[in-house]
Amino acid sequence: MVVAVTLVVALTAAACGSKSSSKAATTSTQATATKPQSGGSLVVGVRAETNGWNPAIDQWADTGSLEGSTVLEPLATTGADSGAKPWLAKNWYPNTTFDKWVVNLQPGIKFQDGEAFNADAVVLNINSYVKGTLSGLALGPMFKDVKALSDTSVEVDLTQPWAAFPSSFLTGGSSLMMAPAMINSSNGGVNHPIGTGPFSFDSWTPGDTFTVKKNPTYWGGLDASGKVRTGQGLPYLNEIQFKVIADDSTRTAALQNGDINMQYTTNAGDATKLAGSYTVLKDWDTEQAFIMPNTAPTVGGKANPLNDVHARMALAYATNAPEIAKEIGTGVVVPSSPWSPSNPWGMPTSQNGYVSYNLSQAKAQVAQYDSDTGQTGLTFTLSGLPSVDDARTLQQLQAQWKQAGITVNIETLEQTAYITKIATGGYQAAFFRNYGYPDPDQDYYFWSSTTAKGVGNISINFTQYTTPAMDKDLTTGRQSGYASIRKTAYHDLVKQLNAGFTNIWMYSTPYSFIAQKKVQGLNAPGGPSTIAFGNYSPKTWWSNVWLQS
């Protein structure tokens, strides 16, 4: 599956799409023993991983966040209501204008190397994100100063009001706390993460296996009522191994053969097929898959056809999304917005302004493009990753669009080259996944004019599409302390996005955990059965997982 550019985790203030922003994940029945058992090694099969374990400088995709969260923890976590809940931070409060926040920390916590988790460590962490090459583009303009008020209290001084700060920054990838020794090491700890989490780093063979061991000094985390869990022997597991098995069928065979205990997958067919014999947790409407046009006037020194709105409208009308979703799997959702209608931030599909498949309208828009530009026919390059699943979707789109008179050249790139091309605006259209975050403000950077730096420069607004109305909506959503005002602004933003046809919607990514029945704790409060896991947000539930003998 395509990897949404995950420099995002480091970029966004809790920024990928959001059971942690929506309802509980769909869950199959999981038998539970009366009391958790300690011990054992859990082996988890994943599709891919990260290129390093420092979220401020490395490319953390969904699997990178899944694995890294065993070692690193955030200041806050996301509740089932999509709001920020305490974790390493005990509480927080703003001044009356929301441009200054005081964050109070849980006392007595230590990093896995014995260093104290305190205000100085938090200041060091936040500054490392604010000054990061990529994260600095997003966070640098927001932060004026960060300082320790006491050993357990930090003051964050902002350049503008940020009422969404708790649910946007404190819960996000840029609040994952690293030990000072990790940050200050020669390479930033990219090959040896040190955090406060339930597991400590043990070993890493890039592209193969990431292993963590039980942290014997783990502080316990918080229970469902917000109390620190002490004296419970957490985490329960002695070890977790994440094994990279890129091919879906090979990974599923490994589960069936007992070589792994659980897999993390976006293969909807496997989740459906194995639901009777295994525990299956689904998160199928959090993150959206779409084609992302570049709206810049030129790309690679040549005129960019997708700068013309009629060209983008032609793609929207020519895309038979239900047909694509059906190919992905039975029950896969077709979106028309960054957030599903059931999401707290969602709106009825009939009101968001997006269009449905209509071949005659697609042809009419191609004709209008020809009239606008003097061209004869719409031709462009569609970029993606070289996986079998992605290739099938790209080819399906190519065939659909051909019926409307659109000529598409398919280009596949390995992940690093693909990410670079997207971030520097060197693409015309790309197969993408994004918007899987609990709070819409975490998507601010993908749509703001402040992060559209132009082709050839690193941008987080990858499409380069902006309007004054969008900027106004984004500012309101970020600065208002009233949920109703924020929601109205984000509904208008969705209409602006759809009017610009900057997302050619296809399907919601069908994330699933498929686990042997003996894997327990996945249904614990605050776990993946109630909080979205198909995203890049930190996971704070690994200590609850255990193996039934």
Does residue 1 sit within a domain? Answer: no
Q: What is the pLDDT of residue 7?
A: 41
CA distance linking residue 331 with residue 283, whole number of Å: 12
494 token code pair: 């969705």
Average pLDDT, the chain: 92
* Same-domain check for residues 312 and 205: no
Model pLDDT, residue 33: 55
Q: Kindly state whether residues 478 and 440 are assigned to the same domain.
A: yes
Residue count (the chain): 549
On whether both 111 and 144 belong to a single domain, the answer is yes
Residues 101 and 92: their CA atoms lie apart, in Å, by: 7
Same domain, 311 and 279: no
Is residue 196 situated within a structural domain? yes
- Using only C-alpha atoms, what is the Rg of the chain? 23
Q: Which domain holds residue 66?
A: 7-284+510-547
Is the CB of residue 25 less than 8 Å from the CB of residue 529? yes
How many domains does the chain fold into?
Answer: 2
* 269 and 124 in a common domain: yes
**Residue 166, class by beta-carbon neighbours within 10 Å (0-12 exposed, 13-18 middle, 19+ buried)?**
buried
Same domain, 102 and 133: yes
Look up residue 135 and give its two tokens. Answer: 């994260």
pLDDT band at 217 (very low <50, low <70, confident <90, very high): very high
102 and 218 assigned to the same domain:
yes
Close Cβ partners of 247 (under 8 Å, ≥ 6 residues apart): none
Q: Which residues contact 70 (CB under 8 A, 6 or more apart)?
A: 197, 198, 199, 212, 240, 542
Place of tokens 């690093």: 416
The domain that contains 394 carries what CATH number? Answer: 3.10.105.10
Mean local confidence (pLDDT), 345-351: 94
* DSSP string for 498-535: HHHT--EEEEE--EEEEE-TTEE-TTSTTSTTTS--SS
Give the percent of the chain with pLDDT over 90: 81
- At 61, the pLDDT band (50, 70, 90 cuts) reads confident
Report d(CA 244, CA 13) in Å as an integer: 28
3-state SS, one letter per residue, for 252-307: HHHHHCCCCCEEEECCHHHHHHCCCCCEEEEECCCCEEEEEECCCCEECCEECHHH
What CATH number is associated with residue 127? 3.40.190.10
Question: Per-residue confidence at 21, pLDDT binned at 50, 70, 90?
Answer: very low
Residue 12 pLDDT exceeds 60: no
Same domain, 267 and 366: no
Tokens 């993390």 sit on residue? 264
Residue 356 lies in a domain: yes
Q: In a 10 Å sphere around its CB, with 0-12 CB exposed, 13-18 middle and 19+ buried, how is residue 134 labelled?
A: buried
Which tokens in the block code for residue 32?
Answer: 């539970």
Domain co-membership, 309 together with 201: no
pLDDT band of 477, cuts 50, 70, 90: very high
Whether residues 441 and 520 fall in one domain = no
Are 276 and 383 members of one domain? no
Per-residue pLDDT tens digits for 398-412: 999 999 999 999 999
Please report the pLDDT score of residue 137 as a whole number: 80
Is 197 in the same domain as 62?
yes
141 and 159 Cβ atoms separated by less than 8 Å: yes
